Each structure stands twice: as C-alpha cells, then as structure tokens.
Amino acid sequence: MALYLLFGNKQLLFDMKKITSLSFIAVFAFLLVNKTQAQDYKHALGVRVGAYNGINFKTFLNAQNALDFNLNFRSHDDYKYVFITGLYEIHNNIQNAPGLRWYYGGGASLGSSKPKYADGSFFLSADGVLGLDYKFTGAPINLALDWRPRLQLVDDVDFWTGDVGLAIRFTF
C-alpha cells in the first residue's frame, strides 16, 4: 500500500507483491536444496568433455553405487562418431577429503561411426572406468575426472585407451 501511495501505480504494487512472494519461495527452495545437497547428491546432469564430448547423466542407486550414462559425439579427422555409454560405478570415500571420492566400474557402449567417404558402421564395446568425483559443499555443482578404456567388440576388434574426460554437472 505504501508503494501505491508513493508512486500512485497499482501495477507497481502488484509487481512488488509478486517479487516478494517469489523471493520468499526462492529463499525457501535454496535452503531446502542446500540442506539436501550438503550430504551428497542423488542425480547429476551436465556435459562431459574430452576425447568424446557429450551429455552426461549420473544417478546413485545407493550411497556407493551409481549408473552413469553418456550420449557422445566426436568428429575426428575423416570420421564422425555418435554413441551411448552406460556404466555401473562403485564410489569410495577418500579420507580427509570431504566431497572427494574415487570410483571404478564397467559397462558398454553402442553406436556408429561414419568415415567421410564411405558407409557408416555399427560398433559395440566393453568399457571400463576409473576416476575422481568431487561435489562442492553448499553448491549444486559436481566435477568428475575419469579415464575410460574401451575394448571394441563388434565391427572390428580394437582397444582404445585415450578417453580421458571431465564431467561438469548440476546436482539435484
């Protein structure tokens, strides 16, 4: 009411009520999220950059075991790759390093590659993973640095060891 008398504009009063209400909701949501995130995180969504770039989603099944999914893209020399990777990971705490854990696991990739001047091909691989996972205290941000060796099984047998990547994710 004071703003209405001061400015003589009903629209401004309505906007201030809306802003005040949204501010209270935002503060309440931040405190709620901050409290739940202080422990750890359940889900994380973001990007993974490295030898293969793409979208990354991680979800924990319990305090130690997680599923990690990636939709990967790569354009390298005369090849283009698109594939999905699914990994089962086991996380372990590191003493005296709050928020930092190491993990290992395995899974598979399924996708296709296409040479610049030829037909594309389908591939399937068995994948391993070894990495570090860090959750920032008080912020919904997670970083993971990992190494993913891959044994390609279908179309051609090959072993790749150069997939090192950094995941930057929003936790919820």
pLDDT tens profile 28-73? 444 444 443 334 899 999 999 998 899 999 999 999 999 999 999 8
Q: Which residue has the higher pLDDT, 37 or 101?
A: 101
> By percentage, how much of the chain surpasses pLDDT 70?
77
- C-alpha 56/C-alpha 146 separation (Å) is 13
Torsion sign across C-alpha atoms 57, 61, 67, 69: negative
Query: For 6-15, 82-91, 105-114, which range has the lowest pLDDT when averaged over its residues?
Result: 6-15
The pLDDT of residue 29 is 47
**Domains plus CATH for the chain?**
2-38 (no CATH), 41-171 (2.40.160.20)
The pLDDT of residue 146 is 97
- Say how many residues make up the chain: 172
CA angle 91, 147, 65 (to 5 degrees): 20
Beta bridge partners of 96: none
- C-alpha 101/C-alpha 41 separation (Å) is 12
